[in-house]
Amino acid sequence: MTTPALTDPDWISGTLTAARPQAVAALLRYFRDLDTAEEAFQEACLRALRAWPVNGPPRDPAAWLILVGRNAALDGVRKRARHDPLPPDDQLSDLDDAEAPLAERLDNSHYRDDVLRLLFICCHPELPATQQIALALRIVSGLTVKEIARAFLVSEAAMEQRITRAKGRIARADVPFEAPGPVERAERLGTVAAMVYLVFNEGYSAGGEPSRAGLCDDAIRLGRLLLRLFPTEPEIMGLVALMLLQHARATARFDGDGRAILLDRQDRSKWDRERIAEGLALIDKAMRHRRPGAYQIQAAVAGLHARARTPEETDWMQIDALYAALEFLQPSPVITLNRAVAVSKVKGAEAALAMIEPLTPQLSGYFHFFGARGAFLLELGRHQEARIAFDRAIALANTPAEAEHIRAQLDLIQSRA
Amino acid sequence: MMYAILCYHEEDVVCSWSQEQDDAVMAKLAVVQERLVKAGKMGASLRLLPTTAATTLRKTQEPPLVIDGPFAETKEQLLGFYLVDADDLDGALAIARDLAAANPGGAYEIRPVGMFFPDQRTADRKTGT
């Protein structure tokens, strides 16, 4: 029987994607320059596509790619003399002897630091969030500039420029190449986590649009990578859990026409049970550490929704309590607004309305504020005021789906009038 | 003889599969499984969640230590397993080869099963626990 597919370009591409963070990160350590590292990796990938179908896949693809990439780049810059000589790469595929010690070294000493450094560089504090996201998607996840541009609804040229600018800033910023110390590591881990969640939200808030929805998967992949590097960090568990639980609802969030379906009207049989199981398992693990954080609490809220088989089974009391904890930890009008939704279920719309009233000045430009306010007023039968709130919401809607949802609420008032 | 066919693969690679690729693998595996079910040779088959969801209870001290993550840091991870009924190792290997043809990459470890208590376990062994 012929063994299929290991030489199939599709499967090779999967292996290349998986090896990418480690390989690019190691190449960055050699060359200390993002462009060179990226080009070296791309060259290695091209050679892999030529060599692997003939020689069979190497035992350790990442090690192979690093060796070949380094070789290729060194050829290019003619700096051979300053480094150890390397074997020609057409011999590498069956060079188990050469690969094994290299792989060993990579695994044991450098892997974690290399990948961390790469992630930290993408989240360099001097870069604005949009550039951090673009850079991480390009360098770590390996999305093409075209794909990223499409996801962010900008032209390819504009995205190219954004990424080039980010690289330039990093080059000028004199990034330290030593492994960061524990304190700095902890500080920057928070930044990396935030970047990963930004990537996720870019995909999540895009609605059903496929070119952006893929960003959720990329963010989850980045999150898992982070979790493998920091397997005992409860907030990273919380982050990955949160993304999995939210993404589990992806196929239920929109109807055939792309209109948003609210949580309590979603077909729960469409929720992805495997993602939910993984998310809940991660929350369970995280809770044992007794070091609550914002991601964990939000994940716990999403977990309570996921556990409820029907909207009526939702444990709103717990959700209210969790949002109260989140408010304490990270006070923000948006969190209070979210809590108000739980309060409306537990204590009624009157209480919820009283709770959000003081937020009016801060949230006067926020779609969800007027959406929630309108819903509370509608529940109380105050139709005229609800209509005003919904009108404001429509004016502030970020997507056609959001506007569409509010319009449905207005129709509801119309029909009741 | 019962054999456990333990599926090892690089989790990074498997998690990098697109939904379509993953579905394609599962569909091919289902064909092999169906054949085994019809032949009455198929026991449980499980797919495990990623090792990042794993917790390890280390028994080296008292009380045992709870650690996040999988038991062993390895290049290839245990991602699932099948329980099959085969006459001998050759039979189990033949099944593993069919599975391998449907699901390239990684490795299958074929382990004879020493004890197996299907459904009646609680009924038969109540006194034992």
Name the residue among A311, A207, A300 with its Cα closest to residue A268.
Answer: A311
Closest B-chain CA to A226: B52
Tell me the torsion sign for CA atoms B72, B75, B77, B83.
Answer: negative
pLDDT, position B129: 41
ipTM of predicted assembly, 2 dp = 0.85
Chain A contact for B62 (CB, 8 A cutoff): no
Indicate the residue of B13, B53, B104 with minimum beta-carbon distance to A282: B53
Q: What is the mean pLDDT of residues A279-283?
A: 97
Global pTM reads 0.86
CB contact under 8 A, B101 and A4: yes
To the nearest whole Å, the CA of A344 is away from the closest chain B CA by 34
Span of A138-152, A196-210, A211-225, A258-272 with lowest mean pLDDT: A196-210
CB contact under 8 A, A15 and B55: no
pLDDT, position A77: 65
Indicate the residue of A3, A17, A274 with minimum beta-carbon distance to B101: A3
pLDDT, position B104: 79
In this model, does residue B128 exceed pLDDT 50?
A: no
**CA B98 vs CA A238, A370, B8, B85, B106: distances in Å:** 39, 59, 15, 15, 14
In this model, does residue A39 exceed pLDDT 90?
A: yes
Note whether B70 and B4 are within 8 A (CB).
no
Pairwise CA distance, residues A249 & A256, whole Å: 15
pLDDT, position A247: 95
In this model, does residue A83 exceed pLDDT 90?
A: no
Q: What is the mean pLDDT of residues A346-351?
A: 96
In this model, does residue A296 exceed pLDDT 50?
A: yes
CB contacts of B68 in chain A (<8 Å) are 231-232, 237, 285
- Tens digits of per-residue pLDDT, A53-68? 888 888 888 899 999 9
- Tens digits of per-residue pLDDT, A172-209? 877 766 767 778 788 888 989 999 999 999 888 776 67
> Of A13-17, A272-276, B118-122, which one has max mean pLDDT?
A272-276
Pairwise CA distance, residues A119 & A189, whole Å: 9
